[in-house]
Amino acid sequence: MPTLPVLNRIWRFTLIPGLLLCGGTTLFGCGPKPIADPFTVAEAEVAYARGKRFLEAGQDTLARAEFERARGLDPGYAPAYEGLSLVALAQGRIADAIRDIRLAKLKDTNYVPAWIGTGLLYASAKRYEDAIVEYQEALRRDSDRLWTKEIYYHIGQAYLGLGQIDRARESFAHALILDPLYLEAAHALAQIPAR
């Protein structure tokens, strides 16, 4: 059996620091972080997808309800804020659109549609040069090239707004190289008069 001085050392050099360490991690939140419930994340994604379909169909109220639902299910879900921003933009509520797109970027700085959405906001205010900067940043962040054709399409629209027809033509053509069946880019390119 250990003697009293040995027990005193064990207590002083192992148990007390261990208790302080455990208490400190609990008190200051330094321990393991909770993992998001995968079912909640999946439900938020489904609500977002429904919201996008409603938005494309022009049903802003239903779209907003779905984006709100996605945000309620996962407050850190950047697409929900991007969707709310697009609804606000469609309804002419520019201040709300700006707030929501900023929140989307804060939630996930690499969420490419948030950068596209910011470009759309600038374009709606006829600030085409600022829109192009946002679209180019979206291109830079789109490492998987999931949004590249849409970004080039929007860049082309911004160049049209600036009256830079040749650059618009190049951007639409680039979008069509990426996806020859991209109808919006094909239509925009067809609307540009021949040289």
Closest to 138 (Cα-Cα) out of 159, 162, 109 = 109
Model-level pTM greater than 0.95?
no
Please report, for the domain that includes residue 149, its CATH number: 1.25.40.10
Q: Is 34's pLDDT higher than 50?
A: no
Of 71, 91, 109, the position where a domain reaches its end is: 109
Q: What is the pLDDT of residues 126-171, one digit of tens each?
A: 999 999 999 999 999 999 999 999 999 999 999 999 999 999 999 9
Integer Cα distance of 121 and 100 in angstroms: 11
Integer Cα distance of 5 and 47 in angstroms: 64
Burial of 157 (0-12, 13-18, 19+ CB in 10 A): buried
Judged by DSSP in three states, 192 sits in: coil
Of 69, 91, 109, the position where a domain reaches its end is: 109
Integer Cα distance of 46 and 52 in angstroms: 10
Integer Cα distance of 96 and 85 in angstroms: 7
Indicate the DSSP class of residue 126. Answer: T
Integer Cα distance of 84 and 51 in angstroms: 9
CA separation, residue 115 to residues 59, 100, 106, 136, 192 (Å): 23, 12, 11, 9, 26
Q: Which of 8-22, 32-46, 65-79 has the weakest average pLDDT?
A: 8-22
Residue 37 pLDDT grade (very low, low, confident, very high; cuts 50, 70, 90): low
Of 90, 109, 128, the position where a domain reaches its end is: 109
Quick one: 133 and 190 in the same domain? yes
Residues 6+ apart with CB under 8 A from 45: 70, 77, 79
Q: How many domains would you assign to the chain? A: 2
Q: Cβ(65)–Cβ(81) under 8 Å?
A: no
Q: What residues make up the domain containing 72?
A: 39-109
Q: What is the pLDDT of residues 45-87, one digit of tens each?
A: 999 999 999 999 999 999 999 999 999 999 999 999 999 999 9
151 located within any domain: yes
Query: Which residue type does 46 have?
Result: V
Residue 25 pLDDT grade (very low, low, confident, very high; cuts 50, 70, 90): very low
